Amino acid sequence: MTQTLPSPEVLARRFLLYMKAERGISRHTARAYTQDLKEFTAFLDKGPSPDLSNFRKARLLVREFWASLSQRGVATSTLNRKLAALRSFFKYLVLEDLIDANPFAYLKTPKPERRLPRFLTEGEMEKFLGSIAGDPGFISSRDKALFETLYTSGLRIHEALGLNIDDADLWNGMARVFGKGGRERMAPLGKTAVKALESYLDERKKRFGRAPEKALFVNFRGGRLTPRGASKALKSRARKSPLTKDMAPHAFRHSFATHLLNAGADLRTVQEMLGHRSLASTQIYAHTSIEGLKKVYAGAHPRG
């Protein structure tokens, strides 16, 4: 292929427009791809003008970028996400007839680390959520509603923050969620979450009136709450709580799955509630369900 390619920055912008318009990627994925491609193009800028149309040269550049990430100590899961973004980027270039072959064709990415997810015990979760219960005001009611929603529904943080008011059916205790790949599912809202949401919406109305913002969870200015804003609120609440553990938004999802399995919930049912395509993604929570394992052992083993 002899054509002269646009700069990597231009190609990256075209790729992102394609992924948003034709593949319908979520805002969360779009942000991750944007950051990963910026990092890659910045790496390319450090050397001579890259020739991405040359298969061997492109493959060498990918390997060098990969090596630079590894030398920085980037976690395997993060490394795989960045490489997946690049694989999709080069696949797009092949699709558009801009290059002949994907340099990832013969590259094997590292196997992901199988770390057990961090979660809170039921007692720890009660203490944490209870520490917010008595605080008055809009921000406190929003935080309580958000954390109760995350824990009783098992939503990913970007799924919860992507909810609009019309997506939450408080009467039936359900929420319509758009997960990875734009897949729609219904998620449960526990009684405590419904109660917290009702209180929050009352406080929100007092503060903003009937604001046009359709987002369910908003910041103090009335705009949609961002993942960064939610993480900041969680860290602040965790510092004020009786807990000594560090907390991240995903801890609610991990706790949701672990507590359900501890109580004897069916793995397939938990898979559906979490929105996992593969049962293997849900099975990792079975390893953290220590109480469930102990109950099965005590009831089944002759010396249990």
158 assigned to active site: no
What number of other Cβ atoms are within 10 A of residue 183's Cβ? 10
214 assigned to active site: no
232 assigned to active site: no
Query: At 42, which amino acid appears?
Result: A
One of 59, 142, 259, 276 is an active-site residue; which one?
276
- Cα 177 to Cα 144: distance, rounded to the nearest angstrom: 20
DSSP alpha helices (H): ranges in the chain? 8-21, 27-45, 55-71, 76-95, 122-133, 138-153, 157-161, 191-208, 227-240, 250-262, 267-274, 279-288, 290-300
| C-alpha distances in Å from residue 266, one per residue of 279, 282, 283, 285 | 11, 11, 11, 12
One of 144, 237, 253, 259 is an active-site residue; which one?
253
One of 33, 92, 151, 285 is an active-site residue; which one?
285
One of 28, 81, 250, 295 is an active-site residue; which one?
250
28 assigned to active site: no
- Cα 88 to Cα 222: distance, rounded to the nearest angstrom: 36
- Coil, strand, or helix at residue 168? strand
One of 180, 185, 224, 295 is an active-site residue; which one?
180
One of 142, 156, 158, 259 is an active-site residue; which one?
156
- Cα 31 to Cα 38: distance, rounded to the nearest angstrom: 11
Q: Do 219 and 225 meet the contact criterion of CB atoms below 8 Å apart?
A: yes
254 assigned to active site: no
240 assigned to active site: no
Query: Which residues belong to the active site?
Result: 156, 180, 250, 253, 276, 285
